[in-house]
Amino acid sequence: MTKVEAVIQTSKLDAVKTALQEIGVEGMTVIEVRGHGRQKGHTEFYRGREYTVDLLPKIKMEMVLPDDLVEKAVQAISSAARTGKIGDGKIFLSRIDDAVRIRNDERGETAL
Amino acid sequence: MKRVLANWLLVLPLLISLVPSMRAQENASAPGMGSQALAAVSSDERIAKLEQQAADAKSSADNAWMLVSSALVLMMTGPGLALFYGGLVRKKNVLATMMQSFAMMAIVTVLWALVEYSLAFGAGNSFIGGLQNLFMRGVGAQPDPDYAATIPLQTFMVYQLMFAVITPALITGAFAERMKFSAMALFMILWSLLVYAPMAHMVWGKGGLLNAALGGRFPTLDFAGGTVVHVTSGVSALVCAIYLGRRLGYPHEPMPPHSVVLSFIGACLLWVGWFGFNAGSALNAGSLATSAFVATHFAAAAAALGWAAAEWIRNGKPSVLGGISGAVAGLVAITPAAGFVGPMPALLIGAVAGIFCYTMVAKVKAKLGYDDSLDAFGVHGAGGTIGALLTGVFASSAINPIFKNSQGAALPSGVIEGNGHQIVNQLVGVIIAWLLAILGTLIILKVVDVVLGLRVSDDHEVQGLDLSQHGEEGYYWEASAS
């Protein structure tokens, strides 16, 4: 099992979600986050005071997938989320030891 | 056919009921002994009766408008100002900030009922009213012709109360996010009695030093409270901001408004409420109210454009907060002028105020380094002062013949009309308002500081006033809440 964490542009959530559903990803968790990589922030003015905002709103998607689905999922996310500009986001993969379905205590991949 | 019959059946009782009254009229006009004398008396009586009815109708119309205006002015404090200020603070202080405005609606109302009205509008000396109207004595349905001849004195009283409510609430913007609630409450009670009541009496009260309508020594034109409301509150705000010191972390930590959306709704409510504030200050529903209504609206629009344009040029973008702040600045500046100037001077006063207040807020404040958190001075103090002075320039006797000679003919009002001395009178009014605000506020701050302490502890300031002063949160969050 592999955990796929993708940080993407907020505007790309629907496209990525659809692409993942098309390849058979059945579950995901979506979180509104703030952060930055190489992308620069912007400035805001309130009554003449300048504020630099470098933590920008992003969407973080998390899903734990059976290994045979991982590469397809990475491809789906990356092609759906790409605009080619700085700030498109990142995908992180990590090994998962076990999973538990709370409803019936199923373990491992059957719990996904 | 059936329907025609039904209609006749409906009309028939009406016709029958009319017949006896027609007979009665015939009887009344029947010839008899001394009928001519009788007719003469009855026509006099009828004229008197008609005059009374006309006066009653005017009184009812005026009273309706003044009650609506009173409600509009209350709406300016809550929710108007509470939302405007509430949106400008950080999340952790939203409730405490709104509460400071709301508390004025309760505290000042009780104070007004007991003593403050009498100190402001009771007949007294040049500086303060007497004690004859304590506990609302003598404030009933009977109008007081010195103030407003066509509405019950009680309507006048409750209308003026709404001004006494919003004025201290305006000050709270200066010390937002750092003052104890208890200290704030005590400060506002003392401030209402020692600064607001005397200033209101001087400008609007019987025998007041600056009263233009009732023969004051220095007749200052202040239609709806440019000096009484905005200069006093704005200048007191500046004194508070300097005396209390900056918020922890200012100006290094960013403290952007947590919700310009709330501020937007608040500012728009202020704009609407201001029609009650300014047009209502005509104290009747006549054409002067219309003139003040138009001037108010025009100035707000021009000032919104002025502030937004200044920002657009300097920062490259016109901001929403800039637009609404400009509108409020224009409303402040037109307040003393509303019932004295025509539509074109109103546009001009608004545009000047929008640009001037933007400069005060965005440039001067940063240069001088004081932390007037929500710009109570930059908008109300600065806008009120410039508005009061421009009123002396643009006041027109065609709009409002406030000065009259012994024959009752209108004399020139403002500088442009040829009354150059009026600018001096305006300046006297402004200087007195500044001095009273500075001295009164300093003394009151010192007293409250000794008795209660003004600022919350550093820990409480970091935690936020919502939790530390009121034990609640504006935006409650708990996982199980759903």
B321 with A44: Cβ contact below 8 A: no
Domains of chain A listed by start with CATH number: 2-111 (3.30.70.120)
B/e letters for A38-70, b = 16+ CB within 10 Å, e = fewer, are ebeeeebbbbbeeeeeeebebbbbebbbeeebb
Describe chain A by its helix, strand, coil percentages, rounded to 5.
Answer: 30, 40, 35
Residue B33: partners with Cβ closer than 8 Å, 6 or more residues away: none
pLDDT of residue B480: 56
Indicate whether B207 belongs to any domain: yes
pLDDT of residue B28: 47
For the stretch B263-278, pLDDT in tens is: 999 999 999 999 999 9
| Residue of chain A minimizing CA distance to B310 | A48
Indicate whether B414 belongs to any domain: yes
pLDDT category at A43 given cuts 50, 70, 90 is confident
For the stretch B156-199, pLDDT in tens is: 999 999 999 999 999 999 999 999 999 999 999 999 999 999 99
pLDDT category at B7 given cuts 50, 70, 90 is low
CATH code, domain carrying B178: 1.10.3430.10
Q: Among partner residues A44, A47, A51, which is closest to B375 by beta-carbon distance?
A: A47
Residue B79: partners with Cβ closer than 8 Å, 6 or more residues away: B265, B266, B269
For the stretch B339-389, pLDDT in tens is: 999 999 999 999 999 999 999 999 899 889 899 999 999 999 999 999 999
Interface test with B, best of A32, A47, A52 (most B CBs within 10 A): A47
Count of domains forming chain B: 1
Give how far B362 is from chain A: nearest CA, Å: 4
Quick check: A54 contacting B, CB < 8 Å?
no
pLDDT category at B30 given cuts 50, 70, 90 is very low
A45 with B315: Cβ contact below 8 A: yes
| Residue of chain B minimizing CA distance to A53 | B254
Indicate whether B311 belongs to any domain: yes
Interface A:B, Cβ pairs < 8 A: 32
| Residue of chain A minimizing CA distance to B375 | A47
What's the whole-model pTM score? 0.85
For the stretch B126-149, pLDDT in tens is: 999 999 999 999 999 999 999 999
d(CA B251, CA B241): 14
Indicate whether B426 belongs to any domain: yes
Q: Among partner residues B256, B317, B366, which is closest to A48 by beta-carbon distance?
A: B366
B361 with A51: Cβ contact below 8 A: no
Q: How far apart are the first and last CA of chain B?
A: 66
A47 with B256: Cβ contact below 8 A: no
Interface test with A, best of B253, B264, B315, B370 (most A CBs within 10 A): B315
Structural domain for B382, as ranges: 67-476
d(CA B275, CA B75): 11
pLDDT category at B212 given cuts 50, 70, 90 is confident
On whether the CB atoms of residues A89 and A8 are closer than 8 A, the answer is yes
Least confident among A67-71, B265-269, B362-366, B448-452: B362-366
Chain A window 63-102: which residues touch B at a Cβ cutoff of 8 Å? none
